Structure 1
Amino acid sequence: MSFLASLITAGFGIGGGVLMLAMLASLLPAAAVIPVHGLVQVGSNAGRCFLFRREIYTAVMMPFVVGSLIGIVLGGLFVVQLDAGVLQIAVGLFILWSVLFKPPALMRKSAGITGVISSFLTMFFGATGPFVAAYVKSLELNRVSHVATQATFMTIQHLLKTFTFGLLGFAFSQWAGLITLLILCGFLGAMAGRLVLLRSNEVVFKRILSIILTVLALRLIYGGASSLFASGP
């Protein structure tokens, strides 16, 4: 799944992070989902940054970094431990929202605003790539530069988030083996996605991806609701 998620994002600029989040939310304890996903995404996005390093659009990086710092700090002040069922439902609803709707126009017009909002939300929902991608798309970059710039934004955001979770006391060491394997598989997926970027039919692939994400989201919502009803009041 890590290989596939990185292939998807490297090939089409978006989707893999949400796919990984859905998978991890189905397998890991609730408290570990967002921190583990964040560190895995640091490695995955950094791999894409390396592969596409010459195509990164650097002019908008500083506003995004400043906005991300503000959003991460605010998110760190409010982040709480959620019931596993509640987390699954929230993640499922977020995935459906990212498939069916677009982020607000205000966020799409500013790298700084995008950094604040997406970084705040990533402390709770993990995969906010769709938010950031809406802004990157508005820059009207070529396809490779879009992927490179998106990967750089997400590397920055997930790195800040991982550092914050470390300060909040999350024990990354107990998940070190799993995280390392996921990052390695993710880099191989990014290498494959680099080839897909130039060869695939993007329209058909995005339709298939939307179907997959919708099915995963509905499965998460169902599983979360079942868990809440089973636990009772």
Structure 2
Amino acid sequence: MIPPLLLPDGMTEIVFAVLIFTSFAASFITVAFGIGGGGILLAVMATLVPPAALIPTHGVIQIGSNLGRALLTFAHVYWPALPAFAIGSVVGAAAGGAIVVSLPPAWVQIGVGGFVIWSVLSKPPKGLRDWPLLVGAISSFLTMFFGATGLFVATYTKSHKLPRHSHVATHAALMTVQHGVKTIAFGLLGFAFAQWWAFIIAMICAGFIGTLAGKLMLNRIDDRRFRLALDTILILLSVRLIYGGLRDLLW
């Protein structure tokens, strides 16, 4: 029996249980393979959470998930990647929040998916690692409409060619900053987080347990296998994004 306090209005116990398990699995996948959990969690939440609450609640949950991951791998964070990215995130979130009519989600999906596939199959631009402010601004602008831009940020992290532990740690730190800025923006725009806090905390706790389990897997794979797994997951998720965008446009 799940305490009623944890259930937002209209959410059943079965839906709650599915979302809790998904939060655990998403964090496990992200730590073990470097990316993918945020997109998976968003996809499941999109079918079970009211649209108006989807992006704001997903953002807060992702703060907890990424912050826990960053703290567990704190010694491996590549700090030079953060300052300019954080400034860009503020600019991007402010610009996104100022737009009343959102960008067509289908085009956002196709654009992000295509860019990520290109970055995996070809060498990222040599200067990508020198564009943290631009990457932060674009990804934070998109996350106000699309939610999970971890794929986009991963291309920036990947351009630094970091060892697997540093890649996971740095990406987690970058996403903590981005989701934090996004959550503040939604709060300023008037989203009422109050009735969702108990649910959000439960999801963050489940995600942290998944992070601990995923860290054990991360310690068992070498850099070559990690890179192969990372690229495979990036391509699969990008294909899913493009397919979803084309389906919305054509059907």
TM-score (norm 1): 0.82
The aligned counterpart of 2:54 is 33
> Aligned-pair distance for 1:131?
1.1
Q: Higher helix fraction: Structure 1 or Structure 2? A: 1
Are 2:153 and 1:136 equivalent residues in the alignment?
Answer: no
1:191 corresponds in structure 2 to 212
Are the counterparts in 2 of residues 71 and 116 from structure 1 also a CA contact under 8 Å?
yes
Distance (whole Å) between structure 1 residues aligned to residue 235 and residue 191 of structure 2: 32
CA RMSD of aligned residues (A): 2.8
Per the alignment, do residues 34 and 101 of structure 1 end up closer, same or farther by CA in structure 2, a change over 3 Å counting? Answer: farther
**What is the TM-score normalised by the length of structure 2?**
0.76
- The answer on 1:115 being equivalent to 2:136 is yes
Matches within 5 A, 1:53-202: 53-80=74-101, 93=110, 96-97=113-114, 100-102=117-119, 105=125, 109-200=130-221, 201-202=225-226
Distance 2:90 2:246 in 1: 31
Change (3 A) 1:138 1:207: closer
Residue range with higher mean Cα deviation, 179-188 or 205-214: 205-214
Residue 60 of structure 1, CA deviation: 2.2
Unaligned runs of 5+ in 2: 1-21
2:56 counterpart SS class: helix
Task: Report the alpha carbon displacement of residue 108 of structure 1 after superposing the two structures with TM.
Answer: 5.1
Give aligned pairs, total. Answer: 222
Q: Tell me the secondary structure at the aligned position of residue 168 of structure 2.
A: helix
User: Match of 1:102, SS?
Assistant: helix
Q: What letter corresponds to residue 87 of structure 2 in structure 1?
A: V
CA distance in 2 between partners of 1:208 and 1:156 (Å): 23
